[in-house]
Copies of this chain bind each other. A is one copy, B any other.
Amino acid sequence: MSSEQTAAENDAQKDEPFELKRKTVAAILYAVECRDRAQLAELMEPLHAADIADLLEQINTYDRARLIRLYDREFDGDILSELDESIREEVIAILNPHVLAEAVRDLESDDVVDILEDLEEPQQEAILDVLEETDRVAVEQSLSYPENSAGRLMQREVVMAPDHWSVGQVIDYMRESEDLPEQFYHVVVVDPRLRPTGNVTLGRIMGSRRDVALTDLLEETFEIFRADLDEEDVAYSFNQYHLISAPVVDEDGRIVGVITIDDAMAVLDEEHEEDILRLAGVGEESSLADKVISTTRRRFPWLAVNLVTAVLASLVIAQFEEVIAGFVALAVLMPIVASMGGNAGTQSLTVAVRALATRDLTGSNVWRVIRREALVGLVNGVIFAAVMAVVGILWFGSPALGGVIAVAMVINLVVAGLAGTVIPIILERLKIDPALASGAFVTTVTDVVGFLAFLGLAAAVLL
């Protein structure tokens, strides 16, 4: 895509920037319908690979297959990289093997790894077979690192320089190299045993005289990652220390690759997606393109857990059947107490889960945070208790009922604040993802406590 085309595209999209236009999609589908290969190529030409991937995700399976077959020879490796895992396999199966080989050969090693790690064995083999020998070895080495590790994330193409070099030497070296990586931002300075000792930005190299020593230009902030480090820790570090690129080393501290900020940004984005979906009990669902059956299957477990929770709460209610039979207003009001507790609990829980994810909730402030949440529950509890007391009195004409619901509300909101904070912290200590499991526990607590406090007090006071 040339710069003029992109600029023109920007102009056209001024009212609805950076989004696949419905009109573009319709025109492309029409070209597919008419089997008009030339028109299709023309419409797709100005689109970035990421936009083409989005397009493929948004249309249905039937259109997708027809579009890919018609577009075939133009199919770019970058589109595969950008595609969501859930339909990447489908697309690879449709692609002509020659086109697939061509597409994959153009990619950098880290992108090939990214594609391969989600594929089934036979498809993996098929792709490895079409790679050139050196690329294949590089990819297989990367795949030998654990899943979601720095080793999988890094690219193996590194620009490095010995620590005794000057600016002039490194410039001459770069000018003579045939195969500099497409994107790089630092020269990594290494000692004689290939252990990285610092980063120098290209900008500082360009702005310095030829005789300046590289070691005089080292960046202040410099982080090194072990290849087996979790990619989540890598992303955290990039975000926390504003890194642009960082070397990856093996267990002997020797450099084996480099991770750049765009890879870290992608990990961060995935982590966020995971957190938000797990909090809602949606599991690992990753795409709108997922089918009904796989979506149903992914959501089922959390609904099943919720059913158990709900039945537990019902068992509590069942203990008070007689009280309710004698005083039906209780049945009308009891969901209010449980619902308020559930919501207050979710608020505390979300703040705690988020703070744990960003590592802001630590041993240093855990007690202060727990105390704060309990106090917030208490203050809001008292306010809503007053409101509900009035509602109880006005609606049912019973001050006793008003008092019962008020006290139950205070109890449940304080418990919600405590449970919403303590439960995620305990799960984190037990190495269970708090985003995944906290919701069910917290709602169980607020439901049970809500019904128990309200109906129990009612039984004591009203009968």
Contact = CB atoms under 8 A, between A and B. Distances in A.
A251 B300 CA distance: 51
Interface in A283-341: 285, 287-288, 291-293, 295-296, 299-300, 302-304, 306-307, 309-311, 313-314, 317-318, 321, 324-325, 328-336, 338-340
Contacts of A346: 280-281
Contacts of A318: 332
Interface string A19-38: 11010010000000000000
Contact of A333 (B223, B282, B314, B365): B314
A73 interface: no
B244 A183 contact: yes
For chain A, what secondary structure do more than half of its interface residues adopt (helix, strand, loop), or is it mixed?
A: helix
B335 A273 contact: no
Given A171-B206, A296-B379, A380-B299, A335 B332 contact: no
A362 B311 contact: no
Contacts of A379: 292-293, 296
A369 to B, nearest CB: 5
Interface in A434-456: 447
Given A18-B236, A307-B387, A174 B207 contact: yes
A20 B387 CA distance: 43
A94 interface: no
Given A184-B203, A362-B20, A277 B351 contact: yes
Contacts of A332: 314, 317-318, 321
A252 interface: no
A112 to B, nearest CB: 16
Interface in A355-386: 355, 359-365, 368-369, 372, 375-376, 379-380, 383-384
A166 to B, nearest CB: 14
Given A206-B171, A280-B350, A365-B58, A240 B18 contact: yes
Contact of A314 (B229, B314, B335, B350): B335
Nearest to A237: B18
Contacts of A376: 292, 295-296, 299
A340 B299 CA distance: 12
Contact of A229 (B17, B48, B177, B183): B17
A343 B241 CA distance: 38
Given A58-B365, A177-B207, A262-B261, A303 B380 contact: yes
B362 A197 contact: no
Interface stretch (A3-11, A97-105, A118-126, A133-141): A3-11
A365 to B, nearest CB: 4
Contacts of A398: none
Interface string A175-206: 10100111111000000000001100111111
A270 to B, nearest CB: 11
Contacts of A375: 292, 296
Contact of A209 (B175, B202, B205): B175
A208 B171 CA distance: 10
A383 B299 CA distance: 12
Given A242-B262, A262-B261, A282 B347 contact: yes
A276 B277 contact: no
B10 A347 contact: no
A344 interface: yes
Interface in A248-277: 261-262, 264-266, 268-269, 272-273, 275-277
Given A180-B203, A292-B375, 11 more contacts: A3-B219, A51-B240, A59-B365, A180-B206, A244-B262, A264-B265, A276-B276, A280-B347, A313-B339, A321-B328, A324-B328
10 contacts: A50-B241, A261-B261, A261-B265, A269-B272, A287-B360, A292-B376, A295-B372, A303-B343, A303-B344, A311-B391
